[in-house]
Amino acid sequence: MAKKTAKNLRNMTMYQVFVRNFSEDGSFNSVKEKLPEIRALGTDIIWLMPIHPIGKLQRKGTLGSPYAISDYRAVNPEFGTIEDFKSLVDEIHAQGMKCIIDVVYNHTSPDSVLSSLHPSWFYHKEDGSFGNRIGDWSDIIDLDYSNTDLWRYQIDTLKLWASIVDGFRCDVAPLIPLDFWLQARKEVEEVRPGCIWLSESVEPGFITYLRGRGMTALSDSEIYQAFDMCYDYDVYGEWRDYLSGKGSLARYAEAVNRQEYIYPDNYIKLRFLENHDQPRAAYLIPDDKARRSWTAFTCFQKGMTLIYAGQEYGIEHLPSLFDKDTVPFDSADKDEREFLRTLADIKKQDVFTDSTYHVTAVSDSFLVAAHTGKSRQALGVFSVKGESAWVPVEFEDGVYTNLIDNSDVEVFRGGIRSCGEPIILIR
């Protein structure tokens, strides 16, 4: 684990923005106008998906993927100027939030600045042409980190951006050598002390697949040596299996509990129900009660909470990565902003900063989770199917306040009556 990783990252909420589809004009300035609303959700960190120019060669869709970058050291002119970007970051800071940007270092667009100036820095197929090692990523070409000159360029680029922003979300970070990330973190720290490092770690099956092809594929345990946080894709498969009826809730709970003893004491997981690569929560979980319980459970979990722009309105449609596809904020028929703000406020309690954590599946419909700190305990009861039932808990009998809605909840003879809505108690 990165030794300087602060446990209070577990008390924070991150909000993800895809600039192109966040507004009709898809600009930095439009994001800037919405910052008070984002902050009002209890947001601590804004993550901007790639802000750089997109390649034109082999584009997918009409506008291309933001992950097919042509120039790491410039901003996408469709979003605005570098001055517009700096102004956005300044306002994010003025609103009391931090800003991290996407780093896409495994690959570039085929017509990138680097492919023209430094073709030897890239992976080449047997015929000598550029290529990539993941078949469906047809709009990009892979970099080759056996070249140390590439390391120097990439780290210097990080230091350039670190003079402006507070951290980085690193795309498919496990595909890049660990030693590169360790050196990058060390050098960036000199420019931005306390820089935040988030790894898009990958699914277990993808790791074994890549290793079987002789490629670099870092496990979460390796990633934690250089990064503060990584995705919880190590348990995402069990969660999706439960939703689809292929797996049990108990199996998912076991996977979450395993994180407590296989990772270092200060491990931070990015907890999410949705992101730009996965279906929307409202699409996966159409029942409002069940979705509220899953949302509350996500925020209750040990780690940082991620909200993808539009999730606060229960939007079902996942925006395209390749075309103009504006998030329909104005036409949304749900409003979960106050709910998310309440959860973000609850998450600030110190019991969530440093605790032992355990999750229990009660039948196949309820999760009971507990944080046990030095002097306080937090209990969460989550009806993940929106059902009512009596639920056994290990919590001292008494009458408590449900921090979500301020209602009275009685623990009596080792149990709680659930009406299908999430419950969070602290004593």
pLDDT exceeds cutoff 70 at 1: no
105 CA to centre of own chain: 18
Taking alpha carbons only, the member of 222, 210, 294, 295 closest to residue 13 is 295
Q: For residue 3, is pLDDT > 80?
A: no
Q: What's the mean per-residue pLDDT of the chain?
A: 96
The answer to whether residue 287 scores a pLDDT higher than 90 is yes
The pLDDT tens digits of the residues spanning 215-235 come to 999 999 999 999 999 999 999
Which residues are registered as beta bridge partners of 417?
390
What mean pLDDT do residues 174-193 have? 97
Per-residue pLDDT reduced to its tens digit, 110-124: 999 999 999 999 999
Mean pLDDT of 93-103: 98
Give percent of the chain with pLDDT exceeding 70.
Answer: 100
User: How many C-beta neighbours within 10 Å does residue 402 have?
Assistant: 16
For residue 48, what are the β-bridge partners?
A: 17, 101
How many CB atoms sit inside 10 A of residue 414's CB? 12
Asked if residue 59 has pLDDT above 90, the reply is yes
With 0-12 / 13-18 / 19 or more C-beta atoms within 10 angstroms meaning exposed / middle / buried, residue 134 is middle
pLDDT in tens, 69-81: 999 999 999 999 9
Assigned token pair, 280: 């929307």
**Residue type, position 308, single letter:** Y
Q: Would you state the pLDDT for residue 2?
A: 66
pLDDT in tens, 226-270: 999 999 999 999 999 999 999 999 999 999 999 999 999 999 999
Query: Strands 377-383 and 167-170, how do they pair?
Result: unpaired
Question: Which helix (H) or strand (E) covers residue 377, if one does?
Answer: strand 377-383
pLDDT at 13 over 70: yes
Q: What pLDDT does residue 81 have?
A: 98
Mean pLDDT on 29-36: 98
If pLDDT is split at 50, 70 and 90, which confidence band does 331 have?
Answer: confident
- Could you read off the pLDDT of 339-377 as tens digits, one per residue? 999 999 999 999 999 999 999 999 999 999 999 999 999
Q: What is the pLDDT of residue 333?
A: 85
Q: Regarding predicted confidence, which is higher, 191 or 330?
A: 191
Please tell me what DSSP assigns to residue 79.
T
Q: What is the pLDDT of residue 266?
A: 95
Tell me the C-alpha to C-alpha distance, in Å, between residue 56 and each of 71, 75, 121, 322, 397.
Answer: 12, 15, 20, 12, 64
Determine the pLDDT at residue 134. 87
DSSP string, 196-232: EEEE----HHHHHHHHHTT-----HHHHTTT-SEEE-
Binning pLDDT at 50, 70 and 90, where does residue 299 land? very high
